[in-house]
Amino acid sequence: MTASTILIVDDDARMVKALAGEIRRMGYDVETCESADAAIEQLLNSSFDLLLTDLRMAGRDGIDLIKMAGEISPNTRSVLMSAYATARDYKTAIDMGAVEVLTKPFTPDDLGEALRKAIESSDGFQGNVHGLSLTDILQMFHFSRRSMKLQVGADGAIHLVSGEIHHAERGDKQGREALVELLRARSGSVRTAPAEPCARTLDTSFDALLLDVMREIDEGPAPKPAASNVPTGGEESAFVEDEAFAIRDDEITPTTLSGYQSFEEIATTPAEAKVEAARATSPREPSDPPDDAIGESTAKEAVAPEVEAPAPQVKASGAATQPTPPTEAAVQPARKRRLPILGIVTILAFVAGIALFATIREPRQAAPRQPTRTPAALSTSTDSGPDQRAPDRR
């Protein structure tokens, strides 16, 4: 790669010699002049990448030289040096095409940064922009695949390499935390600088990183996982303890439907209201139930599975929770209650069968038994009296 050529213009010979030596050590080719007229002659005869000129000189000043250089050699970038430049001089130089204005005395680092910035601007525009957010500026440099340092305010910086954000810093903060603070600012000042070597603290792609940071700025940090609200131990009292009155939507019976006007009312009724309706329409089991109630209960138990899945329990606040599987301790009391009922039903069925059998046989025992007529009796009857045999029907 060919080294860039820089033309130095200053009426102070010692300053010109010092600058030429420092710039050559940076790896650039250098030509010098001591007046604006000599510099114009050089620009007409040769091609230069950069013009470095002083503001105050005998004859034409640096601003006049920058203006003429833009007409003679449009591809030559300019940097202005001055110890007495006013705000108006600064603005005029920028308007004439100067990339940077160095205030004397300046350090070699300041000089090197200004030269690199001016050379990198040889194939693009340079100037001041306003009304853009920092996010818009970052996206612009990302799409152009630029490698640069974006100076934000007095203590912030964002380093881009080929359009990707590699590092961010603000004060004593670095990486993601610094980037969030920089992007959260609603206004401020921004200026570009040549890329500098830095450690990479952000390894996420540009789009994913920017979306994640903007989400955090809009919504705040991601919330921590909430603790489980499933009650254990002594908290079980918050639930309805009696499973007989905990009903599910798929287990609605005619008894529970009696308190509702329509199926729409059932579908929109909260679970807690259904529990209250079940309690009102289904009285508790009496101590000595009648036989028909026992039969009906037995028929329902015969159809139902041995262990039903527990219905969703209802908290006192009205919110339904996930059902928990029944334990062996919860199943045993139901089995113990069911065994005496089955025994009583079996005995009653046996007694009813005996009574039915006796009822069927009772008419046969009450009817009088007809005597059987033997041939001997018939002959005796014939000898003792007139013939009483029935006429022959043949």
pLDDT recorded at residue 305:
46
Q: Choose between 129 and 164: higher pLDDT.
A: 164
pLDDT recorded at residue 20:
94
- For 37-47, b/e burial (b = at least 16 CB within 10 A) is eebbebbeeee
What confidence tier does 242 reach under pLDDT thresholds 50, 70, 90? very low
> Does residue 243 have a pLDDT over 60?
no
pLDDT recorded at residue 246:
41
pLDDT recorded at residue 331:
52
> Does residue 235 have a pLDDT over 80?
no
Looking at residue 368, what DSSP letter applies?
P
Of the given ranges (56-60, 87-91, 277-281), which has the lowest mean pLDDT? 277-281
The stretch 229-249 carries a mean pLDDT of 43
What confidence tier does 323 reach under pLDDT thresholds 50, 70, 90? low
Q: Write out pLDDT tens, residues 374-394.
A: 444 444 444 444 444 545 553
Q: 147: closest CA among 198, 71, 88, 75?
A: 198
pLDDT recorded at residue 342:
72
pLDDT recorded at residue 352:
84
pLDDT recorded at residue 359:
76
**CA-to-CA distance for 381 and 377, rounded, in angstroms?**
6
pLDDT recorded at residue 278:
56
- β strands within the chain, DSSP E: 5-9, 29-33, 50-54, 77-82, 98-103, 148-152, 156-161, 164-170, 173-174, 190-194
Predicted TM-score of the model (pTM): 0.49
Mean per-residue pLDDT of the chain: 74
What confidence tier does 298 reach under pLDDT thresholds 50, 70, 90? very low
The stretch 93-101 carries a mean pLDDT of 88
Q: Choose between 158 and 259: higher pLDDT.
A: 158
Report the DSSP beta bridge partners of residue 320: 314
Of the given ranges (110-114, 174-178, 279-283), which has the lowest mean pLDDT? 279-283
**105: cis peptide before it, omega within 30°?**
yes
pLDDT recorded at residue 227:
52
- The token pair that represents 108 in the structure block: 């070699």
The stretch 67-84 carries a mean pLDDT of 90
Q: Choose between 171 and 358: higher pLDDT.
A: 171
State what percent of residues in the chain have pLDDT above 90.
Answer: 35
The stretch 292-307 carries a mean pLDDT of 47
The stretch 279-293 carries a mean pLDDT of 52
Question: Around Cβ 152, how many Cβ atoms within 10 Å?
Answer: 22
The stretch 342-361 carries a mean pLDDT of 80
pLDDT recorded at residue 184:
92
Q: Write out pLDDT tens, residues 5-31.
A: 999 999 999 999 999 999 999 999 999
Q: 195: closest CA among 140, 158, 246?
A: 158
Q: Domains, the chain, ranges and CATH?
A: 5-123 (3.40.50.2300), 134-219 (no CATH), 237-326 (no CATH)
> Does residue 236 have a pLDDT over 50?
no
Question: Which residue is associated with the tokens 């309690």?
Answer: 279
Which phi and psi (to 5°) does residue 16 adopt?
Answer: -60, -45
The stretch 181-185 carries a mean pLDDT of 92
In 3-state terms, what secondary structure has residue 197?
coil
